[in-house]
Chains A and B, each alone.
Chain A
Amino acid sequence: MPFAPMLFRTARRIAARPDDASDIVQETFLRAYRTFANFQDGTNAKAWLFTIMYSIVSNQWRADRRAPVEVPVDELEGRFGAALSAGQPDAEQVMLARLDASPEVDRALRDLPDTQRAAVLMVDVEELTYEEAAAVLDCPVGTVRSRLARGRKQLFVTLADYARRTNAVRGR
């Protein structure tokens, strides 16, 4: 079924509870079918479906009273700088390493604040433009950019640490 795998993989990662992914995808298709008249001819159907899905998911976040748990910017920059610092001689190797650890990437994504995780998934996995992601996430483009930047830095801190702790680093 077209778009279903794409919606399902994102729903699993973006939802408060991954087990809700099936219901979210089903509801997305149903709302899309009901509101097809709102679809603008010539626009990105994929982004339109994600807009519907994100609305469902963000309502769930609100119902669950999930408050964003964000690392303060200064603290994040400090952690990111430390992970990149010259005091860690294997940093470049870490960057070259190919993680063989999809569960670890999933855990790192899950640890991000909801809105940062959504921005990373929309841009890095679903390959939406900043403008399309802003429409999906119902926020300004600048907000998408900042969520993306913070999310990626936090992911680097987590994943680089994981890569160093495992055999993913070359030469170990």
Chain B
Amino acid sequence: MAEHPPHPTDALQDAIDGHLDTVARAALDLHLAACPACRRELDALSWVKQQVREHAGDAAPVSADLQAAILRALDAEDRGTADVRSPQPSGHRGVPARWWIGGLTAAAAVVAVVWFGTRLGDPTVPAQVAAAFREYAAGSLTLDLRTADPAALEAQLRTAGLAFSTRVFDFGMMDYRLTGGGVHQVAGRSSAMFAYDGPAALRLLCQMYEATLEDLPPPAEQRSNDGIEFLVYREGDVTIVFWQEGSVVCVLAANGSAEAAIRLAFAKAVRA
């Protein structure tokens, strides 16, 4: 009876999870070419991973009640009270805790900056938007829904309890492909977020949230196009462009040419 080589079960698992380097992958491929049992196991377990990711990786809508309860709990913590479930005093706004929530959206290293920065009263909204952009560009930003379909993202956002209607921008003509989005946080407020990949390493992150441009710090540059005012900021290599649509502020953050980012904003802004 012919001896079978031992089945590389650990390597199969590493392959499924993308943890094999080139050499190990080549060795596994060599084994797979001669071992139908391992091929079937690899296919089966990859299928399981796909099913779990597809069906259990859905965005879970978080109710407005739960969000309010979390903010009440953090506000109570700010006040040093023990009863975190008591009704919220009318008009109370625990700014530090809410800024902290916003800070959590940024990359781990940036969280500390935003956290301590907010404690000192110096977090700018453009800096928050840039931090979220960098997190997206680094692949570490959580998207509630990964999709290339604007309609699917809009449907998802309709269930998210946002107080304003959203419009997922289509940048297809500019070679930017929608990758997903969800609910995010800007200036302590819930925002609708849309993420895009462009050619090469170009990335684009857009958000909409209820506010006015008057809340923003003085811009590096102000532009006007088709009767709409645009506030332009630079944070390192990231260009951030804000504009107003009714009660909603739209913001676009992009790397690459600043002028190209501004043109993207011009293309999608709508006069309210």
Contacts and interface: CB of A to CB of B under 8 A. Distances in A.
B202 interface: no
A26 B111 CA distance: 19
Dominant SS at the B interface?
helix
B77 interface: yes
Contacts of A156: 44-45, 47-48
A126 to B, nearest CB: 8
Contacts of A43: 108
B142 interface: yes
B108 A152 contact: no
Interface in B54-112: 54-63, 66-67, 69-70, 73-74, 77, 84, 97, 100-102, 104-105, 107-109, 111-112
A159 B73 contact: no
A168 B74 CA distance: 46
Given A2-B184, A22-B66, A42-B108, A102 B60 contact: no
Interface string A1-25: 1111110110011000000001001
Determine the interface band of chain A, counting residues with CB < 8 A from chain B.
35 or more
Interface stretch (B9-17, B215-223, B227-235, B242-250): B9-17
A48 B101 CA distance: 14
B40 interface: yes
Nearest to B191: A2
Contact of A4 (B45, B70, B115): B70
A29 B55 contact: no
Interface residues of B, number: 55
Interface in B97-136: 97, 100-102, 104-105, 107-109, 111-112, 115
Contacts of B101: 1-2, 29
Interface stretch (A52-60, A61-69, A116-124): A116-124
Nearest to A13: B56
A102 to B, nearest CB: 4
Contact of B142 (A33, A46, A129): A46
A94 B101 CA distance: 43
Nearest to A155: B48
A91 B44 CA distance: 9
Interface of A: 1-6, 8-9, 12-13, 22, 25-26, 29-30, 32-34, 36, 39, 41-46, 48-49, 80, 83-84, 91-92, 94-96, 98-99, 101-102, 105-106, 109, 120-121, 123-125, 129-130, 145, 148-149, 152-153, 155-156, 159-160
21 contacts: A2-B104, A2-B105, A2-B142, A3-B104, A5-B61, A5-B62, A8-B60, A9-B59, A12-B60, A26-B66, A39-B108, A45-B107, A46-B142, A94-B47, A98-B54, A99-B55, A109-B52, A121-B56, A124-B56, A130-B19, A155-B52
